[in-house]
Structure formats: C-alpha cells, structure tokens
Amino acid sequence: MKIHKVINNNVISVLTENNQEMVVMGRGLAFKKKTGDPVEEELIEKVFTLENKDVSDRFKTLLNEVPTEYMEISDEIISYAKDTLGKKLNESIYVSLTDHIHFAVQRHQKGMDIKNALLWEIKRLYRDEFNIGKEALNIIEQKVGVALPEDEAGFIALHVVNAELNEEMPNILNITKVIQEILTLVKDHFHMEFDEESLNYYRFVTHLKYFAQRMFSKTSLTSDDDFLFHTVKERYTEAAACTDQIRKFVLEKYDYELTNEEMLYLTIHIARVVEQN
C-alpha cells in the first residue's frame, strides 16, 4: 500500500486495486512522507471509504481545517447511530457532523451557544435520533472535555435525520414543520392528546416523516386499485374525515395533492393512533 496524497501529518489517501480512493488516519502516519512512499500499516487507526467523489473531496478539505480528533468523534457517533437505528446513513454526514461539532465546541468555549428553536419538536418527533444526540454529547465530553448544552443534542439529531432521508438541512426543517402541523390537525380534530410512548404514535410519526419528504420532492404513493382505500374509508369514517382535512390543508398550503394511496395509509395510521388513546 502506497501513499496517494498527504493530507496532513496524521491523514493520507491511498488507492485500492479498483482505483477507489480511501482516506486513512493514524498518529504520525504521514510525518515526513510524500506521495508514493509505502504506508506504515502498523500506524493505521481508521480507514474511510467514501464512494461519492464530491463528499470525499469535501471530507479531505475538512481534515485540513479541523483537528483529527473531531473526525474520530464524528466517526464514533455515526457508528453508534448506525448500530442504534439499524440503517445506512448518507456519507455526507461524515462532513456535516464533523464540521458542526468542531464549530459547536468553538462557539461553546467562547460563550456563544445557540438555542435550538425546534428542540421541543425534535425530542418528540425524532426520539431515537435525539437519544443518539444525547449520547453524542457524552462522547464529545469524554474526548475533548467540553459539555455542550442539550440544544446541541437536537442539532446533532437533525444531522442524523438528514443522513437517514438523504435530504439537505433546510428540507429537514420543513419536514419537521409539516409533521408538527399534521399532528396538530389530528389532535384538534379528535380533541385529544397523543400517547407519545405508544408504538402506534411512533409508527405514525415515522410515516409522516416519509410522507413529508415525498411531498417536498413532489413524488407520491400511487396505486391503480382504489378498492382498499374505499373499504378503509367506510370502516374508519372519522379518521377518513380527518385525512380529508389534511388533504385540503396540504393542497392549500403546499400545493400538493394527496393520492388515494397516500390517504389510505394516513387514514389507517390515524385510526390506530386514535384508538390507542
């Protein structure tokens, strides 16, 4: 294995047999080294293979600007998130999360913490991701001795959601807003509060997350068979009426027309979450 590029004293890139670039980290790995020199493999601590060239280039640029320890922190958090969620995350999180954590620590040390205006919503709508954010704060404190405020757990949670949905951060904020708006419509329609600990509530919020993503990407669930929709509509008349209210709301505010397939799943989820209450 030979050095392809020296990024800094602790980071290099190498090429695989398939000509794929990998970023390799290790203390002193590139000290007094140059392109073409053999890699001291016993010094290797981490290897990152990023398939997207744009992400890989931004990642290498970031490593020139941010201490290596922040990449290690980010990698530990991302590994924990993948294990917890059981999902693959978009590679871009290696860049966005590392940059965010480094900047957050710098801001905190200068007494410039930022309040998270969506913290309440994040705690309730993205519970798993928020718990990952809380664990991330523990990892950060262990590694650099800085105790970031709970608001940062919320920001980190949004980075995880972003990587789950392959969306840009502004879209995640819009998705969060839509989820909250629809939940409010359902609560007002049935004059109720949700049991936020229930499995049906969790399933409903998860469905709304992907529904909102489809809405902003102007895609939708479609089916040629409307029989099941009409059957469910007749069985769950009040839930169907609530779904129709949602249909009118998103059409008027977001210019998005719900298909019968979308309304079918919304009605089923609403019926379940309401019955549990």
pLDDT digits (tens, 9 = 90+) for 8-61: 888 888 887 777 778 888 888 888 888 888 888 888 887 877 777 787 788 878
Burial of 36 (0-12, 13-18, 19+ CB in 10 A): exposed
Whether 227 has a pLDDT exceeding 80, the answer reads: yes
Fold exhibited by the domain 169-276: PTS-regulatory domain, PRD (1.10.1790)
pTM here is 0.80
Q: In whole angstroms, give the CA distance from residue 108 to residue 160.
A: 21
Output the pLDDT for position 38.
86
pLDDT band at 276 (very low <50, low <70, confident <90, very high): low
Do residues 158 and 168 lie in contact, with contact meaning Cβ atoms separated by under 8 Å?
no
Maximum distance among all Cα pairs of the chain, rounded to whole angstroms: 75
- Cα separations (Å) of 169 from 108, 121, 129, 136, 253? 22, 15, 15, 19, 21
Q: How is residue 13 written in tokens?
A: 């890139």
CB 134 within 8 A of CB 169: no
Average pLDDT over residues 243-262: 95
Phi then psi for 11, rounded to 5 degrees? -135, 135
Q: Cα–Cα distances in Å, from 218 out to 163, 179, 207, 208, 238?
A: 20, 16, 16, 15, 27
Whether 277 shows a pLDDT value over 70: the answer reads no
Closest C-alpha to 229, from 203, 195, 188, 267: 267
Q: CATH number of the domain at 50-165, out of 1.25.10.10, 1.10.357.10, 1.10.1790.10, 1.10.510.10? A: 1.10.1790.10
Give the separation between CA 112 and CA 98, rounded to whole angstroms.
Answer: 19
Tell me what pLDDT residue 88 has. Answer: 87
- pLDDT in the model for residue 190: 95
Q: Are 56 and 20 in contact (CB under 8 A)?
A: no
pLDDT band at 220 (very low <50, low <70, confident <90, very high): confident
Distance from C-alpha of 167 to C-alpha of 173, rounded to nearest angstrom: 10
**Distances in Å between the alpha carbon of 8 and those of 31, 32, 144, 160?**
8, 10, 20, 28
Write the CATH number of the domain with boundaries 1-49. 2.30.24.10
> From the CA atom positions of the chain, what is the Rg in Å?
23
Q: Where in the chain is the domain with CATH 2.30.24.10?
A: 1-49
The answer to whether 250 and 212 are in contact (CB under 8 A) is: no
The residue that leads in pLDDT, 226 or 144, is 144
Tokens of 125: 């709508």
What burial class does residue 247 get, using C-beta atoms within 10 Å of its C-beta: 0-12 exposed, 13-18 middle, 19+ buried? middle
- CATH 1.10.1790.10 location in the chain: 50-165, 169-276
Asked if pLDDT for residue 156 goes beyond 90, the answer is: yes
Query: For 19-156, where are the E strands, in sequence order?
Result: 21-25, 46-49
Q: What are phi and psi of 110, to 5 degrees?
A: -95, 5
